Amino acid sequence: MAHFIERQIRFPAAGRPAVMLEGILALPDADPPDSGHAVAVLCHPQPAGSSMEDPLLRRLATDLATAGLIVLRFNFRGVGDSEGEQTDGRLEPLDIAGAIECARNQPNANPDKLCLIGHAFGAYVALAYAVHDPRVKTVVAISLPVFRLTGDLGQFERPRLFLTGEYDEVSPRHKLEPWIAALPGARNLKIVSGARHLMRGYESVAAGVVVHYIQRWAETPGV
């Protein structure tokens, strides 16, 4: 039995005029630590073909909430019942800003323990957003598309974990590794053996790597 409850919510993106976004909030039913529950915001792959129901994000939400985190997964603008139009990363950072405000203001949340986890397109937008918001203490970027890599993406000192599949044609290891090596601060790359871009069939393996990392981060003071 899962030790959390889920509920559907709506919240505004940042910016004006604000669009209303839909999400699913997972709340642990265990007593929070003295400092409150750590918070995770999950960002889904390419809006044209994916949503917050992405299998890996669903698995991550379940496993992270079971581990004691408050977890919010949501649909970017123009996806599902979220208002607005898709902008291929131009305005989606405003959606992340709204999701962060919603999640970190939940009862028993620890606003000083906030992480972003993005899958594919979501990894790109999470890294782009985190540069400008020091409240995000760590970022997990899964299957980051190498065609979106730029010189300023991911340029911050806070820790980052990268995951890619052994056979990921959109985020190939040989192109991702040198870019990651040039980043400042703490960063690490994990390879999921046998997996392709969207980790289909490898959700449990990928989620296990992420949850292990996030649990260690959540338990480490001052990080």
Each residue's pLDDT tens digit in the chain (223 positions)? 458 999 999 999 999 988 999 999 999 988 888 999 999 999 999 999 999 999 999 999 999 999 999 999 999 999 999 999 999 999 999 999 999 999 999 999 999 999 999 999 999 999 999 999 999 999 999 999 999 999 899 999 999 999 999 999 999 999 999 999 999 999 999 999 999 999 999 999 999 999 999 999 999 988 8
What burial letters (b/e) apply to 154-184, b meaning 16+ CB within 10 Å?
bebebbbbbbbbeebebbebeebeebbeebe
Q: Which of 69, 143, 137 is nearest to 108 (CA)?
A: 69
- Alpha helices of 67-202 — where are they, by DSSP H? 92-104, 121-130, 173-181
Domains and CATH numbers, the chain: 4-219 (3.40.50.1820)
Provide the pLDDT for residue 61. Answer: 98
Provide the pLDDT for residue 1. Answer: 43
Provide the pLDDT for residue 2. Answer: 54
Amino acid identity, residue 62?
T
Determine which helix (DSSP H) or strand (DSSP E) holds 43, and give its type and residue range: strand 37-43
Provide the pLDDT for residue 191. Answer: 98
Provide the pLDDT for residue 176. Answer: 97
Place of tokens 């030790």: 3
